[in-house]
Structure 1
């Protein structure tokens, strides 16, 4: 491991200042960062540990603002939260797919989002639920929709010095139904070959988000348009599934061919919609 300086800021302003330095890396859960530093896959001239900053941990909920997930909230906290299980079922489902139980006790949800992997499990449900990120940087605080956060694999809109302090997920309208389905080569400890998240508000709208089939998580907007305000019939579900296939842009790699991924987009989208009607 290469040498680096190590900092434990006590405030967000201090963290923002430290992270503006070249090759500064933020440490929260560290499940990716520490491995990549040891394997020399990532360079850090300084590591900024944000765990001692007050006010950025845990989960909170109110009926107006919805769910707030702090920068230090772990995957395991979300996984076992009764409130998340009740109101944000697809997010709870996705978190259970994240790594091992040991990883989930340390990894943070915001870290998983900021990693910007096209196959990340937590991102499709967050986009389907209309989640936003609160970002603190040198220019002050700003809010950004999760779906607008990604520029490509491993790339986001974050600038040097930026810290994502929380995720805000709106409260679900009454009767909302949600699901996340992941397909991989095995049932645990696996990256998604295809992931599909659906948030369905009967009589209003349906949001469909595809993972691992494009450079960034992808809203299947044409499929959503077909379903808007309509009852989920067999015929409509089949049309929406085919529309999602047409909107996907997968590549072939060691986990699956592009053709197989397209086929699974149709299968999983149809399966998700059938379970929600």
Structure 2
């Protein structure tokens, strides 16, 4: 039986995958599935992905079925620089307006709902659409984009539209970091393949540490070639992201879950974050 590793197809998670020894992991019967967060969330819920990066909201929906891996996340303390609300009007004028949401992420969509409905006390009409600024704003007043789609849109529309960084809005309201993606493993996979899960985890951790030790430079050089943009942008982008998942990151994520349950966007409360305590020793 193979273990399927989910790989979010956005640059923000690349430090965890850039230095992976993929041939070695494939020799251990691992397969890689690169998809956008929403697709990976769905595949993991159906048991077709066993371990990897998923939307933090997806963990909340399956907290009794998944276990989180420590020390690994995509988190921001303030601006995340790849999750933006683009708007025709200032954000404080969006009450009663129509907002288009990208279909590709659950964490950011629900974070936007917290920001607009809880922090700004607004009533909003939402529509989920393909992530394209032009089509999203044809019949809507604002739109949410994430990941590489948001980065490209910021380059093209940053001077013509109001734009708001969701990580910055969250931090300004709470003083807490926001964790957008976590690394999780299905409990069934952890029971049947604990040693292999440990090998995969240590591979993620080593890739993260090597990326950081080299200041992301080899990875950034590749991203500039494949995605464009100025090197200075990507330098700033990765320096601002936090790849850890310690007590402070967990505190911010738990508060996010509490608000979602209070607002009825989560059916069941997340009583605790189930984090694997055998990650290093296995």
TM score, norm. by length of structure 2: 0.26
| Structure with higher RCO (Cα < 8 A, 6+ apart) | 2
Q: Which has the higher helix share?
A: 2
TM score, norm. by length of structure 1: 0.26
